[in-house]
Amino acid sequence: MTALILHGGAGARREVNYDAEAVHMRETVEAMKARLDAGASALDVAIETVVRLEDSGLYVAGRGASPNLAGAYELDASLMDGASRRAGAVAALQGFRNPILAARAVMETTPHVMLAGEGAALFAHDRGLEPIGDEAAWFTHAGQGDDNHPPGTLAHGTVGCCVLDAEGRLAAATSTAGVFGKAPGRVGDTPLIACGTWADDRAAVSCTGQGEYFIRTAAAAQVAWRVEAGQSLGEAGRAVIDQIGALGGDGGLIALDRTGAIADPFNSQGMKRAWLTTSGEVRVEVFGR
Ligand code: ASP
């Protein structure tokens, strides 16, 4: 039994057409279904999914990143392997194509969980990760064309994925450029294990939204801990999004448990997402439930 859910961010707005993202999300889930059928691990599939989303330029992560107020592209990413509880993250990384691959390298080749800023960039360079080169040619500015996202409004976009593999292992991965018009050095929930990303042997969670609120609620781990305490995944996810809403925040999360149950609550207008059910069905939604 395998299952997967990915998101392309909870910053979706009704006046925007997301047909290209819907096609891309479906193709990605179908490709990852084949990987899972071939026996790939949850961690590998979560990372491969996020690499595809980063490379597409369609979402506010990787190639689609938006710059901060100083014009710099500071990217955040994290991942967690539920079976081993190993985790890796990078924050405010500049100059590299796939922040999620840097997060993986942190997990696999250092005793640390997170590297940030200049140290993260030096590390990515030393590991031979692919540099961006000409930023003007690389970045597509996804989601920026149709309005101007005033600074301070925490308009946002992100990508993430949760996977259950055939051996019952769970994993989660998340990658972002953060909120539009963020201050230089601002770090959101995405690279913070327990806030933007979590996986243990019961649940995998990837969040998207105004990261400050997901930090203040320890959102991703809180979902898993609620499941451990006996709530269903759906109840747990909804309770956390309701907490965020009560604090004044917006966003959503995707979650998967070890039975393959999926939850995708959000309090924003929409959340781009696609998933593979345990019966092999592929679904895509942006505004619907
Ligand atoms: N949570 C991300 C952040 O605050 C943004 C997003 O998910 O859209 O950096």
Q: What is the pLDDT of residues 189-203, one digit of tens each?
A: 999 999 999 999 999
Q: Residues with catalytic annotation?
A: 158
Instruction: Report the alpha-carbon distance of residue 270 to residue 12 in Å, rounded.
Output: 5
Residue nearest to atom 9 of ligand 1 (CA): 178
Closest C-alpha to ligand 1, atom 5: 178
Q: What is the pLDDT of residue 151?
A: 53
As a whole number of angstroms, the distance between CA 197 and CA 183 comes to: 22
Nearest-CA residue for ligand 1 atom 7 is: 208
How many angstroms is it from 141 CA to the middle of ligand 1?
Answer: 15
Say if residue 154's pLDDT is above 90.
no
* Averaged pLDDT score across all residues of the chain: 94
Pocket test for ligand 1, best of 158, 266, 272 (most atoms within 8 A of CB): 158
Domain spanning 3-65+72-284: CATH 3.30.910.10 = no
Question: Can you give the residue ranges of every domain in the chain?
Answer: 3-65+72-284
Question: Ligand 1 centre from 279 Cα, in Å?
Answer: 31
Rounded Cα distance, 33 and 84, in Å: 23
Task: State how far the Cα of 279 lies from the Cα of 80, in Å rounded to an integer.
Answer: 25
Q: What's the CA-to-centroid distance between 187 and ligand 1, angstroms?
A: 9
Q: Name the nearest CA neighbour of 223 among 197, 187, 249.
A: 197
pLDDT of residue 149: 56
Model confidence pLDDT, tens digit, residues 219-253: 999 999 999 999 999 999 999 999 999 999 999 99
Ligand 1 atom at shortest distance from the alpha carbon of 76: 9
Atom 8 in ligand 1: which residue has the minimum CA distance?
Answer: 157
Choose one of 153, 179, 264 to mutate for the ligand 1 pocket test, by most ligand atoms within 8 angstroms of C-beta: 179
The answer to whether 162 and 171 have CB atoms below 8 angstroms apart is: yes
Indicate the pLDDT class of residue 181, thresholds 50, 70 and 90: confident
3-class state of residue 197 by DSSP: strand
**Shortest CA distance to 75 belongs to which of 88, 62, 57, 84?**
62
Tell me which amino acid residue 27 is: E
pLDDT for residue 146 is more than 80:
no
> Which has more pLDDT, 74 or 149?
74
Q: Span 41-56, mean pLDDT?
A: 98
The alpha-carbon radius of gyration of the chain (Å, integer) is 17
Whether the pLDDT of residue 68 is over 90: the answer is yes
The β-bridge partners of 79 are: 88, 173
**What is the pLDDT, as a whole number, of residue 188?**
97
Predicted TM-score (pTM) of this structure: 0.96
204 three-class SS: strand
**Of all residues in the chain, what percent are helix, strand and coil, respectively (each to 5)?**
30, 25, 45
Burial group, residue 151, by CB count within 10 angstroms (0-12, 13-18, 19+): middle
Beta bridge partners of 171: 81, 163
